């Protein structure tokens, strides 16, 4: 149950993120989001190591994880972008805020959102990452609008994206680069809080994002090519 409580603590962090958002403190909200990322990146490994499904079969930890992920990865980041003025004003801004909420509601209810070979199907609702770059790079509402629209559409495109802690292909590389990205996240937040973040670190961290999307697309096409290979008699 301690592992489930660890996972559930993400709901409290989401609550604190929303409070920080309404206080206008985007940096505090992003620090809390970082803590939620760390919890989400480690709770599954703990659950598998301690075999919680066998220990407490009556409790659905996967459902709990989805609830927490939706609140911390989708709802709270969208609230943050809205309250801190990173979205266009008026009806357009409200529509853009609704798009990730609705698209991710669909995705989280798909039975194949996480594939049997441990990939995410469709853009994996990393709205917390989107919010991080929007705020750290101080992107304009117009740029933010384009990113939200494109990523919302990608939710419905059946591309398989790497699940960093579970996808077998490049797993060690994925885990190492993800850890390095989390360090860069913390450094950039510290710099943003002190004044201006390093553009070199921003672009360096974006290389990980490029790697993530690039390797996901590569594995998608490699898997299709393998499936088309003739089977020897």
Strand intervals (E) in 87-165 = 119-121, 160-162
Q: What is the pTM of this model?
A: 0.92
Q: What pLDDT is attached to residue 187?
A: 97
Tens digits of residue pLDDT in 123-166: 999 999 999 999 999 999 999 999 999 999 999 999 999 999 88
* pLDDT, tens digit, 9 for 90 and up, residues 60-107: 989 999 999 999 999 999 999 999 999 999 999 999 999 999 999 999
Residues 189-226 pLDDT 10s: 999 988 889 999 999 999 999 999 999 999 988 877 66
Would residue 217 count as lying in a domain?
no
Please name the residues in contact with 90: beta carbons below 8 A apart, sequence gap of 6 or more: none
**CATH number (domain holding residue 128):** 1.20.120
Instruction: Specify if 30 maps to a domain.
Output: yes
Please count the structural domains in the chain.
Answer: 1
| Cβ-contact 72, 128 below 8 angstroms | yes
Q: Would you say residue 168 lies in a domain?
A: no
Question: Cα separation of 221 and 227, whole Å?
Answer: 10
Cβ proximity of 208 and 181 under 8 Å: yes
Residue 231 forms part of a structural domain: no
Rounded to the nearest angstrom, the gap between the alpha carbon of residue 28 and the centroid of all alpha carbons in its chain is 18
Mean pLDDT of the chain: 93
Which residues share a beta bridge with 114? 120
In a domain, 208, yes or no: no
97: containing domain: 2-161
- Measured CA to CA in angstroms, residue 162 lies from 3, 107, 114 at distances of 24, 16, 10
């Amino acid at each position: 149950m301690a592992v489930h409580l660890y996972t559930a603590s993400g709901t409290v962090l989401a609550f604190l993120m929303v409070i920080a958002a309404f206080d206008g403190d985007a940096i505090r909200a992003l620090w809390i989001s970082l803590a939620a990322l760390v919890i989400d990146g480690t709770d599954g490994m703990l659950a598998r190591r301690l075999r919680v499904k066998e220990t407490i079969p009556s409790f659905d930890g996967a459902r709990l994880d989805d609830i927490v992920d939706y609140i911390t990865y989708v709802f709270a980041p969208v609230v943050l972008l809205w309250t801190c003025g990173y979205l266009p004003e008026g009806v357009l801004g409200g529509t853009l805020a609704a798009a990730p909420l609705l698209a991710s509601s669909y995705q989280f209810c798909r039975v194949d959102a996480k594939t049997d070979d441990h990939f995410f199907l469709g853009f994996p609702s990393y709205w917390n990452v989107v919010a991080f770059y929007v705020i750290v790079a101080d992107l304009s509402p117009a740029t933010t609008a384009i990113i939200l629209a494109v990523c919302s559409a990608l939710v419905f495109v059946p591309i398989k994206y790497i699940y960093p802690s579970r996808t077998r292909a490049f797993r060690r590389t994925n885990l190492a680069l993800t850890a390095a990205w989390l360090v860069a996240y913390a450094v950039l937040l510290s710099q943003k809080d002190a004044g201006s973040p390093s553009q070199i670190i921003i672009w360096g961290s974006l290389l990980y994002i490029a790697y993530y999307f690039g390797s996901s697309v590569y594995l998608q096409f490699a898997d299709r090519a393998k499936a088309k290979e003739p089977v020897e008699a």
